[in-house]
Structure 1
Amino acid sequence: MFSEKLGLTLLFSILVWLGATLFFVFFGSAVLVDPYQQNFLTAFLLLELATAVVLYIVFVIFRKLDPSPYAVVKLGLIGSAVGLIIDAFVLWNRDVFFSGLSSEQLLAFTIWMAFAYGLYLLIPLFMKKGNK
């Protein structure tokens, strides 16, 4: 049975994925640095810090809409699964989605993405711990 809360979780999962993907479609060439350049670590850390802040805000908003005890953990798990599945398709068709990115920038995006999904899974665990 499809519940309203599952629908909300899936909607947020898709919106988070869509927001991140559109950000890199429009701004990827400006923010993604070749991983072999010396300034990659700084750019990467700033991008991940911004990602963590945005994800935290998303989780706070989601928790207000679904106050059930494990709502943010559920969003982290389902959102990561949905995003990874869609991203597999996107990376497979990178010429369609990221035609403006170089091979090095696509590698930088993939590195960002792997770390960002780690944040997507971990942030809700810390939020749940602090919200007993």
Structure 2
Amino acid sequence: MRQGLIIAGLGLAVWAVPTLFFLLFGDWVLLEVGEAYFGTSLFLLEMLSFLLLIGLALIVRLRLVKERGSASRFGYAAAVIGLLLNAFVIWHRSSVFSSFTEGQHHAYAVWMTFAYVLTLIVPAAIDRIVKEPAKIEEPAKAEEPTDAADPAAEEIEPNEPSATPPSSL
């Protein structure tokens, strides 16, 4: 229950932080689809999203929920929560992002599409990369050498045939 709430809360944060970022800085960072540096701007925004998702997925997997598959669950939860909330944002885009032009609304939708693809792929890749810690096993006790005084130790007497065949000349 606690882990589910943590993952859902982080999924909500994955939606809230970029939405607030674009509310504050969207006029400066979102170029219209037809502009000359639109591809560069989109690439830099996606790389920022990629790096933040790597960090969040590692935090979830290594610190918060140390189970195999927890980063993937985080990615699924973030995608579901974010896509539902962004559907509402896109539907009411003129009131949420009132200062955006129509081209910037399109650029936001393009960024969002690629960002949610990353949200599904990056945590799953982190789960594949991060391995379970090796379980520490007690080292096997080394066998002690047998002493000559040990009655279990047998010596071959000279009169007995040896296990090696005689060499032929």
TM-score relative to the length of structure 2: 0.75
Q: Which residue of 2 aligns with 1:120?
A: 119
Paired letter, 2:44: L
Identity %: 31
Matched, 1:69 2:68: yes
Q: Which residue of 2 aligns with 1:80?
A: 79
Structure 1 runs of 4+ with >6 Å offset: none
Count of matched residue positions in the alignment of Structure 1 and Structure 2: 130
Q: Deviations over 1:52-104 (max 9, x none)?
A: 01111111222211111111000101110110001001111112210111110
CA RMSD in angstroms comes to: 0.9
Q: Which residue of 2 aligns with 1:34?
A: 32
C-alpha separation between the residues in 1 aligned to 2:97 and 2:47? 23
Q: Which residue of 1 aligns with 2:54?
A: 56
Q: Which residue of 1 aligns with 2:23?
A: 25
TM-score relative to the length of structure 1: 0.95
- Indicate the structure with greater helix content: 1
Q: Deviations over 1:2-23 (max 9, x none)?
A: x111111110010110001000
Q: Is the 8 A contact 2:8 2:77 kept in 1?
A: yes
C-alpha separation between the residues in 2 aligned to 1:96 and 1:54? 28
What are the ranges of 5 or more consecutive residues in structure 1 without an aligned counterpart?
A: none
